[in-house]
Structure 1
Amino acid sequence: MKRSIVLALLLANAACSPSSTTSTTTQSASGTLAGVDQALINKAVKPGDDFNTYASGAWFDKAEIPADRSSTGVGYDVFKVAEARNAGLIQAALKANAAAGTDERRIADYYTAFTDMTGIEQRGMAPLKGQLDAIAALRDKGALSALLGATMRADTDPLNASNFHTENLFGLFVTQDLNRPDVTVPYLMQGGIGLPDRDYYLSTTPEMASLRTAYKAYVARLLTLAGVSDAAARTDRIIALETKIATAHYDILTSQDAHQATSWKRDDFAKKAPGIDWNAYWNSASLPSQQDFSLWQPGAITKLSALVASEPMEAWQDWLTFHTINQVTAALPKAIDDASFDFNNRTLNGTPQQQPRDKRAIASVNAQLGDAVGQIYVGKYFPASSKTEIQGMVKNIVAAFDNRLAKLEWLSPATKAEGRKKLQVLIVGVGYPDKWRDYSALEIKADDPVGNLQRARLAEYQHQIAKIGKPVDRSEWWMTPQTVNAVNLPVQNALNFPAAILETPYFDAKFDAAANYGAIGAVIGHEISHSFDNLGADFDSTGRLHNWWTPADLKHFEAAGAALAAQYDAYEALPGLHLNGKQELGENIADVAGLTASYEAYRASLGGKEAPVIDGLTGDQRFFLAFGQSWRTKMREKALRARIATDVHAPAPWRVQTVRNLDAWYAAFDVKPDQKLYLTPDKRVKVW
């Protein structure tokens, strides 16, 4: 149920060639920038045959994916701006010699520890010795249950980020109860695998079989480098156990369905999920008196608990040993770090080369001390004028969506009223949160990178469980300001638009309205529309999960969704590899509905007048070209395969083709019936 626009996936593994940073946008007589880079357009391609290649084809011809990236695209242009700023802020913190206990000192010490490779090599595996000795000393399943509880972290998020993966046996997510919006509860989620998804263990395709072989080699290599004896036999036991764990898992499509979540009392665990000593587990997880829990994948929890009882202690000790090491490889000696990169980046995603240590350090500081950096970031780089202008755009796009709802003939009055109420009470955060995270209890040491990582993750866990039983904070942010992304929070009925995404070319106060609405406006519309996609539409205006639709309304909505899923199923990304329209449905609905709402908000902003022609382009042409160019992306084949297998978003080239569902696009580019993207009016999906 990924709510974010997911530029982050591109940014984590992307970089841009010099050609992607040079704009040839020109000014009109009024001084307004067109906001469209005409140098990127491939005019040899008809827009109606392939709008992605038409909008950015000249860039595709020249762009090269750097060796330390699995993809390249416009999102990384924006990310590089934020990264450079973050680097400057961290360097300033290093020079400040701030007092102990301040956030500046935490930032400086974390960065220093992470980049001190001499110290990391000298310490070797010593930072993990106590933990590995404790694993080796386990003698019974009660002690094992306690250790499993002690190592659980708040590292999953099914609602805001479609993050269903944790290496720990279970992950925890804390938010309001799906049926009681005023109650905050912990959600227990499946985990325990090192590969990205269950299909990597169970699929019979040659590609997946090859990755399993490579993973087995990696496990053995990591154990050997860490000085663990009998690595081959231990690896066999680890792979066998993880395969059983994967077999117990829900698949990604089922995991997106909030309806399968269920509530258990503490006493229910012993009866419904025997195998774990649940009292020992919850006591060690710092939840000794918690009585109410939600289980996101209850069937998997039952099966995983049974494995704790049925599988030998030796296998669990081997599994714990590997994952304890695997979760902190970036803070361990270079040979171990390199082995992790070789499998997780080179083999899984096709990235040939590791990123420089300083850039990885910046990313790690942001991951573990995000609000500390973010508070400084917005104070220096996010002007009040940008916040005001984006808030105005959000208001206009919400109004456009509301206007569409009001006019829908197929939607009954009752369903329409609740939908419009969701829009009326929608909370929109722009730039940064109202409240900042308090890191005062987090100890960061300049000579302990492993400990810093582990303590930061524990601090995040403690922050999350501290919310249990307290009133729901609907204004809470789930992204840092320096993140180039955006997100819809379904149970909070809220949106976050971090400062770092509100930059050129997504947004520029000097750009023509068409470009801003086509780029950042489509992002805003996308996030608004998530409240009404196939998953968000399950939640009412209070964030409660229940059916607020009439049967006839729901039937019409599901038919439109099925048509859109079929449209995306037909796209063939690689020979024999099609997109998964059902897996991506929520995101594709948000793309279509969001682009439509942003387009109508743009037209409304003209006040009934026609937009000026700039650079020979009409306003509508600039709108759609800005949208297309904002998604230009080049991705390595392995990364593309991984994306299709595990992600709920369509890859960028097919997100650009969203335009084929909007009537205005056909008129703007004179698209003809004999062109490849042409859909007859009755086949153009209009979910909202």
Structure 2
Amino acid sequence: MKSIYALQLSLLAAISWSACNNSTTTEQAGTSKDTSKIPAFDVSSIDSTVKPCDDFDQFVNGNWKKNNPVPSTESRWGAFNVLDKQNKEIRLKGIILDLASKTNLKKGTEEQQISDFYRSFYDTVTIEKLGITPLQPYLDKINAIKTVEDWVKVSGELQNLGISTVAGFYIGADSRNSKMNAVYENQGGLSLGEKSYYERTDSATKTVRDEFVKHVDKQFSQAGFKDANPGQTILDFETKLAKLQLTNVQLRDPVATYNKVAFAELKKLAPEFNWDGYAEVQQVKTDTIILENKAYVTNSAKLVKATPLETLKTYARWQTLSHFAGLLPKAIDNENFHFFATVMRGTKAQKPRLERSIRATDATMGYPLGKLFVKQYFPESSKQKVSEMIENVRAVYGERIDSLKWMSPATKEMAHKKLKSFTYKIGYPDKWKDYSSIDVKPGTLIENVISATNYKHKEEIDKIGKPVDKSDWEMTPQTVNAYYNPLNNEVVFPAGILQPPFFNANADDAINYGGIIAVIGHEFTHGFDDQGSQFDAEGNLSNWWTPADRKNFMALANRYIHFFNGIEVLPGFHINGALTIGENIADLGGLTLAYHALEKSLKGKPAPAKIDGFTWQQRFFLGWAQVWHGNSTEAALRNQVQTDPHSPASSRIDGPLAHLKEFNDAWGCTGGKMTLADTARVVIW
């Protein structure tokens, strides 16, 4: 249960628990990198056979990409992955292994919880011995289902454990009253993640569906389940469910997806669904609820009623098994990896158990680990430096608003009000939560995960109807990411990303402005993208635009959507400009703000000398390109353009740069795909 907006608007796509357990390669534990040895920009990455105005990504990163293919344990590999590997597989690994070497740690302490959770994941002997018996209490409840009403209640109990079903509750700030928490209901239950996987007719997507059927059949056989034709049964049911759901583009509309009703009205919209029982088992008590899509509520309930009970029970078994598959014996775990990592994303090999144990411990005990992480690896001086950077970006954004020709004075006044009210968090939380009630023991992996999940569930339930705690974080300190939360009107930068290549204390200003300053500008711009611009200075879903200004803004956004729609990343697979527009606007805005902030900082000073033969203007763009350098498997690219609100890395580099006259001037472009006519460029902020 979590508000969706903060994670939707992050710098990177959200990574699932199972995915992060299959995302890195092996490295021995050791100390942190000495940042003084990390060059501001490594010129050996450059492919000088390519002209910067033809393909800037290939020019800047061509040799890097040639020398850094996607490792067998990855589906993507780039700057984010490399830094994440440093944080998790070296720094956190050292912390965790040190704790695991100690004995007699006091029960309930964070050190004991971290140590014993790590041990429970690494203990494959016990995992093999137990088989699927840790799931038996939940399987028994599914087997005992006699009616659809029973199925609804059991589905509610399973959702407490994070197991997906056709409908879901989550708790978050009320979009129209952002100071108070409310209960939301949204769509869910698709194993393939997004409805296009059930609808596309191309051969690659058909193959995914065929492999999915085989995967479910094999997993049921491995678990000893006796359901007949489970794979086709699940695919058929989820295909019907997918037809009822909104697309990921439609889900971007915060107005259309805000439908606040009395709980009694929810029951009238879908009388076939036992909402009272569903809410009761989740301890959800509320007089009102915010629906994502009224039609889905009605139609999904009718689908459930029309579906044979045995199919619903098969579906519940599948969702339960799939949710915990990565924590079960090797055969089940490997098959889960084969489909969701290899088939879906092109990851060839699962990483060693040690690295998976570190990642799993971080995924479950992230904040207690984060407390230890920042003590060792995040100096207070970095916090102060980033704070200064944020204020510089704020000042430049205000100047950019004043210079806009397409926005009226009335809307500019409101934009300034919103900009002034932006708050920010840097590094780590000011207060740490008490996790002592989470019961973690050696040899009980699934029970440990469930205990942590129950803690989080109670934490969310306790928020219902209460004021929003704006000190909450959506990401752990060690996360290599950042986000903007429109409901708090805040930008957040965890300690994990405040390291090279994003922020290098020993780099020249141009490289850092193209890196961390552009990232800061990216998050600021989310407050004014197609979604964030619909929230006011208080974080409420409220229109603060004149009709003419809104029309002007959307005209520019639609031109940018059209531009990205034209980018084909693989045969038959184009970037979805409407899905990625928020992130694309944020990239364009972030670069614009960072460049002009750098330019402003140099006024009245002698022009910086060239470094490695590049001017400061050129090095700014080198800084941006090295942040986004990366390789990807074809399967991961196909998955990304169907499900991810972020464009692929190469398009995040080249796409916005083609629209910046400053880039054209810096590199003297007179032709090539990076050169657009002034009338073709999109300038928003």
Give the match for residue 22 of structure 1: none
Q: For residue 179 of structure 1, what is the aligned residue in structure 2?
A: 176
Question: What's the CA shift for 1:516?
Answer: 0.7
Task: Look up the match of 1:634.
Answer: 631
Q: CA deviation at 1:16?
A: 8.6
1:139 to 143, 146, 164: 146
State which drifts further: 459-468 or 516-525: 459-468
- Residues 234 and 39 from structure 1, CA distance in 2 versus in 1: closer, same or farther, beyond 3 angstroms? closer
Distance 1:7 1:169, change over 3 A: closer
Contact 1:3/1:488 (CA < 8 Å) preserved in 2?
yes
How far apart are residue 186 of structure 1 and its match?
1.5
Name the SS for the 1:648 alignment partner. Answer: coil
- Which position in structure 2 is the counterpart of 1:158? none
Once the two structures are TM-superposed, the CA of residue 224 in structure 1 deviates from its matched residue by 0.5
* CA positional deviation for 1:268: 1.0
Distance 1:308 1:664 in 2: 56
2:85 pairs with 1:88: no
Change (3 A) 1:153 1:687: farther
Aligned runs of 1:386-401 on 2, under 5 Å?
386-401=382-397
> Compared with structure 1, are the counterparts of its residues 491 and 576 closer, same or farther at alpha carbon in structure 2 (3 Å cutoff)?
same
Instruction: State the partner residue of 2:31.
Output: none
| Whole-Å separation in 2 of the counterparts to 1:475 and 1:399 | 25
Q: 1: distance between equivalents of 2:81 and 2:579?
A: 26
Indicate whether 1:122 and 2:129 are aligned.
yes
- Counterpart contact for 2:396–2:596, Cα < 8 Å: yes
Among 279, 292, 295, the alignment partner of 2:276 is 279
Distance 1:211 1:619, change over 3 A: same
SS of the aligned residue for 2:186 comes to strand
Q: Following TM superposition, by how much is the alpha carbon of 1:580 offset from its aligned partner in structure 2, in angstroms?
A: 1.1
Deviation for aligned residue 1:139? 0.8
Which of 163, 185, 198 is 1:188 aligned to?
185
Report SS of the residue matched to 1:428: strand
Kindly report the root-mean-square deviation, in angstroms, between the aligned alpha carbons of the 2 structures.
2.1
Offset of residue 34 of structure 1: 7.0
Whole-angstrom CA distance in 2 between matches of 1:449 and 1:436? 25
Selected match of 2:355 from 346, 352, 359: 359
Cross-structure match for 1:163? none
Q: Hey, what does 2:266 align to over in structure 1?
A: 269
Q: Aligned partners of 2:659, 2:509: CA distance in 1, in Å?
A: 22
Q: Distance in 1 between matches of 2:144 and 2:35?
A: 69
Partner residue, 2:156: 149
SS state at 1:219 partner: helix
Aligned partners of 1:578 and 1:555: how far apart in 2? Answer: 26
Q: Distance in 1 between matches of 2:294 and 2:100?
A: 47
Contact residue 13 and residue 645 of structure 2 kept, 8 A: no
TM-score of the aligned structures, taking structure 1 as reference length: 0.93
Counterpart position of 2:666: 668
**In structure 2, do the counterparts of structure 1 residues 169 and 612 end up closer, same or farther at CA, with 3 Å as the change threshold?**
same
Q: 1:193 to 1:670 in 2, by over 3 A?
A: same
Equivalent of residue 39 in structure 1, options 38, 44, 54: 44
Distance 1:228 1:57, change over 3 A: same
Measured against aligned partners, the alpha-carbon deviations of 1:259-314 in whole angstroms (never above 9, x if no partner) come to 12211211112211221111111111111x32121112332222222222221211
Which of 262-271 and 233-242 deviates more?
Answer: 233-242
User: Which amino acid counterpart does residue 361 of structure 1 have in structure 2?
Assistant: S
Q: Distance in 2 between matches of 1:16 and 1:357?
A: 11
Aligned equivalents of 1:149, 1:50: Cα separation in 2? 51
Letter in 1 for 2:83: V
Displacement of 1:15 in angstroms is 5.8
Residue among 73, 78, 92 paired with 2:78 = 73
Name the aligned partner's letter for residue 100 of structure 2: L
Matched, 1:105 2:112: yes
Structure 2 SS opposite 1:584: helix
TM-fit CA distance, 1:174: 1.9
Distance 1:443 1:257, change over 3 A: same
Deviations along 1:132-191, whole A, 9 cap, x unmatched? Answer: 111000112222221122222496xxxxxxxxxx73332333221111222210211111
In 2, are the aligned partners of 1:153 and 1:171 still within 8 Å (CA)?
no
User: Which amino acid in 2 is paired with 1:129?
Assistant: Q
1:550-579 CA deviation, whole Å, 9 max, x = no partner?
111011101110111111111111123221
Name the CA distance, whole Å, in 1 between partners of 2:194 and 2:110: 36
Distance 1:15 1:514, change over 3 A: farther
Aligned-pair distance for 1:14?
Answer: 5.8
The residue type paired with residue 297 of structure 1 is N
Match of residue 307, structure 1, among 303, 307, 320: 303
CA contact (8 A) 2:501 2:626 kept: no
User: Which of 205, 216, 219 is 2:216 aligned to?
Assistant: 219
The answer to whether structure 1 residue 592 and structure 2 residue 592 are counterparts is no
Query: What is the SS of the residue equivalent to 1:96?
Result: coil
Q: Distance in 2 between matches of 1:685 and 1:523?
A: 20
Aligned pairs for 1:158-173 within 5 A? 167-173=164-170
Tell me the CA shift for residue 599 of structure 1. Answer: 0.9
Q: Which residue of 1 aligns with 2:229?
A: 233
Matches within 5 A, 1:514-663: 514-609=510-605, 610-657=607-654, 658-663=656-661
- Whole-Å Cα distance in 2 between the matches of residues 417 and 315 of structure 1? 57
CA distance in 2, matches of 1:480, 1:170: 27
Aligned mates of 2:35, 2:325 — CA distance in 1: 48
Q: Write the distance in 2 (CA, Å) between the matches of 1:131 and 1:573.
A: 43
Corresponding residue of 2:481: 485
The residue type paired with residue 669 of structure 2 is: V
Query: Which stretch shows the higher mean deviation, 363-372 or 583-592?
Result: 363-372
The answer as to 2:238 corresponding to 1:242 is yes
For residues 79 and 35 of structure 2, what CA distance do their matches in structure 1 show? 19
Secondary structure, aligned partner of 2:290:
strand
User: C-alpha distance in 1, partners of 2:650/2:419?
Assistant: 30
- Report how far residue 115 of structure 1 moved: 0.8
Structure 2: how far apart are the matches of 1:543 and 1:8?
22
Q: Does the Cα contact within 8 Å between 2:35 and 2:500 map onto a contact in 1?
A: no
Q: Structure 2 vs 1, CA of residues 71 and 17 (structure 1 numbering), >3 Å: closer, same or farther?
A: farther
Aligned residue for 1:252, secondary structure, equals coil
Sort the Cα spacing of 1:237 and 1:292 in 2 relative to 1 into closer, same or farther, 3 A: same
1:6 and 2:4 matched: no
Equivalent of residue 53 in structure 1, options 47, 52, 58: 58
What CA distance in whole angstroms lies between the structure 2 residues aligned with 1:437 and 1:186?
22
Question: What is the distance in 1 between the residues matched to 2:417 and 2:354?
Answer: 47
Q: TM-score, normalised by structure 2?
A: 0.94
Inter-partner Cα distance in structure 2 for 1:122 and 1:635: 37
Report the CA distance between 1:423 and its aligned residue. 1.4
Partner Cα separation in structure 2 for residue 93 and residue 614 of structure 1: 45
Unaligned runs of 5+ in 2: 28-33
CA distance in 1, matches of 2:559, 2:604: 33
Q: Aligned equivalents of 1:577 and 1:454: distance in 2?
A: 39
Partner amino acid, structure 1, of 2:68? A
Q: Deviations over 1:406-438 (max 9, x none)?
A: 221321222111111111111111101112232
State whether structure 2 residue 417 is matched by structure 1 residue 411: no
Partners in 2 of 1:235 and 1:637 — Cα distance? 25
CA-CA distance at 1:7 after TM superposition? 6.8
Q: Which amino acid aligns with 2:309?
A: M
Tell me the secondary structure at the aligned position of residue 181 of structure 1: strand
Aligned-pair distance for 1:236? 3.3
- Write out per-residue CA displacement over residues 48-86 of structure 1, whole angstroms, 9 at most, x where no aligned residue: 100100111111222221111112112222112201111
For 1:557 and 1:238, how far apart are their aligned partners in 2?
Answer: 43
Letter in 2 for 1:420: H
Counterpart contact for 2:156–2:278, Cα < 8 Å: yes
The CA deviation at 1:17 is 12
**4+ residue segments displaced more than 4 Å:** 7-18
Cα displacement (A) at 1:119: 0.2
* Aligned residue in 1 for 2:459: 463
User: Which position in structure 1 is the counterpart of 2:323?
Assistant: 327
Cα deviation, residue 642, structure 1: 0.5
Residue identity opposite 1:92 in structure 2? D
Distance, in Å, in 2 between the alignment partners of 1:354 and 1:142 is: 40
